[in-house]
Amino acid sequence: GQSLEQPSEVTAVEGAIVQINCTYQTSGFYGLSWYQQHDGGAPTFLSYNALDGLEETGRFSSFLSRSDSYGYLLLQELQMKDSASYFCAVSSGIDDKIIFGKGTRLHILP
């Protein structure tokens, strides 16, 4: 089977740093993506890792360890607008479908 595990909810304080972990078990692996979804909105792409290591894009960073089937999304200098659901997602091949985790609901406290 294929599964992605991530925490269902995380709470953090505005201005702080939060890390959302994701472990995956899939029949094939091409890359790990992270998507953000605000209530009622479309999933929007945040980052992508195909190789081990850290990718940084502004306040957001994403890490991948292929040997551990593990990745995380790191959000720094949290802002209230970052309150949303965050999905890790695996693509199993080039141009392939995305398999999503169940999402992590991020609550940010002022």
Contact set with another protein (CB under 8 A) = 30-31, 33, 35, 41-45, 48, 50, 87, 91, 94-103
Q: By C-beta, is 48 or 70 nearer to another protein?
A: 48
Closest distance between another protein and the C-beta of residue 100, in Å? 4
- Which residue, among 33, 89, 85, 39, has the nearest Cα to 62 in the 3D structure? 33
Output 45 or 109, the one with its CB closest to another protein.
45
What is the number of helices (H) and of strands (E) in the chain? 0, 11
The nearer residue to another protein, 77 or 96, going by C-beta atoms, is 96
Tokens coding 24: 């995956």
Smallest gap from Cβ 31 to another protein, in A, equals 6
Q: Which residues contact 67 (CB under 8 A, 6 or more apart)?
A: 52
